[in-house]
Amino acid sequence: MWGANVGDWLRRGVAVLLGVTGIVVGPTWGADPEVLRPRVPVDQIEAARTVTNPLAATPENVGKGKALYHGKAFCATCHGRDGKGLGDIPGLVGRLPRDFTDQTWQAARTDGELFWILKNGSPGTDMAPFIPLILTEEEAWQVLLYVRSFGGR
């Protein structure tokens, strides 16, 4: 069947655009250890890992994060409404947002590392910094609570 809904096609469109620009230089997709390779530069990762989420994962905070993810922070455009990213597109595998529902990936990252990415972007990829232009620090922590919820937490 034509199972892909309009959102899927939009996501694929974005993916193709990203692919055509050739800007995204990402990890190899799937079970490849490249997905788990730390993204925070080695001289900053120790400090980044000491940073913890000041917010509790209450339904209210996760709900605020969800609204941001699907709304003004447009994370869903690239990372997918379901958090599964865009890594299943032939020819673009490895250059696109990872699967947030991947438990191994969830376990490999500290909250502090993810926060560092929202502040600085992910070096060598199309992931831009979102703090402070799009998200306040508090909003970033709310979004990260929602990202964690993809891992079933």
The site for ligand HEC (CB under 6 A) is made up of 24, 26, 39, 73-75, 77-79, 96-98, 109, 114, 117-118, 122, 125-127, 130, 143, 147
| Amino acid, single-letter form, for residue 147 | V
Q: Look-up: residue for tokens 């799009």?
A: 134
- Please, what is the minimum distance in Å from the beta carbon of residue 1 to ligand HEC? 28
CA atoms of 9 and 14, how far apart (whole Å): 9
Question: Quick one: 67 or 78, whose CB is closer to ligand HEC?
Answer: 78
Least CB distance to ligand HEC at residue 30 (A): 12
Cβ closer to ligand HEC: 64 or 109?
A: 109
Nearer to ligand HEC by Cβ, of 64 and 130: the residue is: 130
- Nearest-approach distance from CB 98 to ligand HEC, in angstroms: 3
Q: Each residue of 38-47: b (16+ CB within 10 Å) or e?
A: ebbeeeeeee
CB of 2 to ligand HEC, least distance (A): 25
For residue 120, give both structure tokens.
């600085």
Closer to ligand HEC by Cβ: residue 3 or 103:
103
Comparing CA positions, the residue from 114, 117, 102, 82 lying closest to residue 11 is 82
Query: What residues contact 38, with CB distance under 8 A and at least 6 apart?
Result: 45, 113
